[in-house]
Chain A
Amino acid sequence: MSVYRIVLLGLLCMFGNVVVASAQERAYFVTYDHYLEERGNLEIAFATTTGLPKNGERSYTAPWLELEYGVKGWWTTELYLEGVTTRGAGNGFTGWRIENRFRPLRSEHRITPVIYVEYENINEASRIQKEIVGSGSLLFEPIAELTEEHAHELEAKLILSSAVGAWNLSENFIVERNLSASEGFEFGYAVGVSRQLGRLAKSTACRLCAENFVLGIEAYGGLGSSEALAGAEQRHYLAPVMSWRVSDRSTLKASAGIGLTRNSDHALVRLGYSYELPAWRHR
């Protein structure tokens, strides 16, 4: 499947629907909080990561399509299809991922834990960087070569998230195992803080009022592996994030990440659009 087909499929899914539902899309791109998809709801999201690398390497854009479904109130599952396109170095399909998030406690607590398990069938051309683990920079060989190198990976996260007044504080601890190569266990993290701008909801419908905007900041990066901590080789980013609830069902979000280390790209610019379909039982 080409990148353009993924893009087309995403756009069709987004604009081809007129059914209603309510959405709460997190502002973060990398950090997860404890809010799961509502039971029976399907969220369709399309997003891109555009990287501006250092050392004269070619910039790239990695789009992905995300289907998120609320199986139960305590269980959300997601499927990702991802690709990449570069200036002059080709483009291609970079794989798929399936993730599951489980909220073990019925009610919210001061710190609410969520357990995350993901299986990835991707190749070395993957650039979406939904999480960063381990150390070392991205590979910049031609995409056609990189897509030949497949990786099966298992990833787990411990998500801790708190609502403090109007603020959300989230911390993710990541461990990943490449099942296709002996790389040990790779570690990573993501932390974020965000808040909705409005305090009271206005009585009339409005799209540009503060209550529809969430602002925040997230930091994420790799922490080496069980075989090499390699602090100097790690990649870390700091990224302001913003989301805008465009309608009751859809959200636009954006982020501009700044690379903090030698191996990080100069910047990671992310854009996303999500559309929420209501529970099937309501349709």
Chain B
Amino acid sequence: MRAMIVLATAALIGSVILSARQASNSGEHEARWAAPAREASRTNPLANDPQAAAGGRKLFHQRCGTCHGDDAQGTQDAPSLASARVQRQSDGELFWKVSSGNARSGMPTFSFLPPLQRWQLVLYVRAQARGG
């Protein structure tokens, strides 16, 4: 009986994983990790607010530094956020990526932070590209 329970559990978990992987390969915005156009066009309401940028620095160290490095220059686990590939994206795209995460690559979803705090993170990422 116990063996059957273990087998049934394993089969259930396996089927869920398979269906999850299949589902992650479908969907309009799943083909590549790109923000929808409407999201990409959003502007940062905190632009030119140095006080907000300082808060972004603190948030970045708390939430992002472990993977991206405290200076946002990247680690072996996550890319540099000062790179041209990241910096050429709009504020709206960065905000969307921070908010939405990428379950496939391991990028967490940060939509539990209030929107203004996510914009603070975007400010900090921009500041790093300018040398902090």
Instruction: Report A's interface with B, CB cutoff 8 A.
Output: 20-22, 24, 33-36, 38-40, 72-75, 100, 102-108, 112, 115, 117, 119, 152, 154, 163, 165-166, 168, 179, 195-196, 198-205, 211, 248, 278-279, 281-282
Question: Given A38-B108, A104-B23, A105-B24, are A73 and B103 also a contact pair (CB < 8 Å)?
Answer: yes
Instruction: Report B's interface with A, CB cutoff 8 A.
Output: 2, 5, 8-9, 12-13, 16-17, 19-21, 23-24, 27, 29-30, 33, 51-52, 54-59, 62-67, 75-77, 99-109, 111-117, 120
**Residue pair A74, B30 in contact (C-beta under 8 Å):** no
**Residue pair B16, A102 in contact (C-beta under 8 Å):** yes
Not counting A35-B112, A115-B19, a sample of 14 additional A-B residue pairs whose C-beta atoms are within 8 angstroms of each other reads: A22-B63, A38-B108, A72-B106, A73-B106, A74-B24, A105-B27, A117-B9, A154-B8, A196-B114, A199-B116, A200-B55, A279-B67, A279-B77, A282-B77
**Residue pair B77, A202 in contact (C-beta under 8 Å):** no
Question: Given A74-B24, A74-B103, are A104 and B19 also a contact pair (CB < 8 Å)?
Answer: yes
**Residue pair B57, A203 in contact (C-beta under 8 Å):** yes
**Residue pair A106, B109 in contact (C-beta under 8 Å):** no
Contact of B55 among A20, A39, A202 (CB under 8 A): A202
Chain A residues lying within 8 Å of B21, measured Cβ to Cβ, are 104
Chain A residues lying within 8 Å of B67, measured Cβ to Cβ, are 279, 282
Chain A residues lying within 8 Å of B120, measured Cβ to Cβ, are 200-201
Closest to B97 in A: A107
**Residue pair B101, A211 in contact (C-beta under 8 Å):** no
Question: Given A107-B33, A108-B109, A279-B66, are A200 and B13 also a contact pair (CB < 8 Å)?
Answer: no
Chain B residues lying within 8 Å of A282, measured Cβ to Cβ, are 66-67, 75, 77
**Residue pair B54, A203 in contact (C-beta under 8 Å):** yes
